[in-house]
Amino acid sequence: MKVEGKAAIVTGGGTGVGRATGLALAGLGCSVLVNYSRSRSEAEETAGQIEALGVKALAHKADVSDDAACRAMVGEAVKAFGRLDILVNSAGTTRFISFLDLDAVKVEDWSRIMAVNVQGAFQCARAAKAAMEAAGAGAVVNVASTAGINAVGSSIPYCASKAALINLTLSLARALAPAIRVNAVAPGFITGRWLQGGLGASYEAARQRTADNALLKRVSDPEDIAEAIISLIAGSDLVTGQIIVCDGGVHIGR
């Protein structure tokens, strides 16, 4: 897909991978709605940086677990940009819980994590379908995780949610074809406040250990994941239903 002149929604777009992806899309000439649920100041800052690149931007608050909010967000994007071509489902949540402490996992953890990470991606894609078809074509990229492949991550519910998101990617690729392509990236360790906040004092040791185990001897920054996302949007129009692991080779080892 030629990105210049197109319009995108990036959920969770004010921070981390979402922010890096929005800026990368803007650098290619794409207008971007920067979605957020809590990070208003960061989303507005990101939108300002996108506008400085010469394209339109909009910071928009919506909880992706709310279907009505997803539909309203798509409506705002079309109103602001006149079209919608790209959706990046980067919004996500978790709670850091030891896999060994099964009793620490609450019903509320399952409900919230699945609602945002899986249901939210589905609802955003469903809401975007008509607008993308009206534009002639569309590209959806879901931000999954290697946690959904190897079941190692912040918590059991998080790993299960990312496995479900990978499955959802395949289902949506079938359901939305031929006009809309659906793919996913599965990052491993990503530098930034998500893991810094979750791992606390063990963050640096975990980062170094992961880098040591990676074939490419480093972990990902948000910009690395954004580049993988862009490759699925701006690359071949015959790629759909694919899960691209972006972890420096940790998953295959030596």
Express each pLDDT in 16-69 by its tens digit: 999 999 999 999 999 999 999 998 999 999 999 999 999 999 999 999 999 999
pTM for the model:
0.95
Express each pLDDT in 144-194 by its tens digit: 999 999 999 999 999 999 999 999 999 999 999 999 999 999 999 888 777
CB of 20 within 8 A of CB of 246?
no
pLDDT at position 240 is 98
Q: Please name the residues in contact with 212: beta carbons below 8 A apart, sequence gap of 6 or more.
A: none
pLDDT at position 254 is 64
Question: What average pLDDT does the segment 3-10 reach?
Answer: 98
For residue 118, the 8-state DSSP code is: I
Per-domain boundaries in the chain = 7-246
What the block records as the tokens of 195 is 């893991």
Of 36, 81, 122, 158, which residue is the catalytic one? Answer: 158
- Distance, CA of 241 to CA of 182 (rounded, Å): 6
Among candidate residues 117, 113, 109, the one with its CA nearest the CA of residue 168? 117
- Distance, CA of 50 to CA of 42 (rounded, Å): 12
Question: If you classify domain 7-246 with CATH, what class do you get?
Answer: alpha beta
Q: Is 203 a catalytic residue?
A: no
- If one counts every other C-beta atom within 10 angstroms of the C-beta of residue 130, the result is 12
Please give the distance of CA 104 from its chain centroid, rounded to a whole number: 27
> Is the dihedral angle over the CA atoms 90, 95, 98, 100 positive or is it negative?
negative
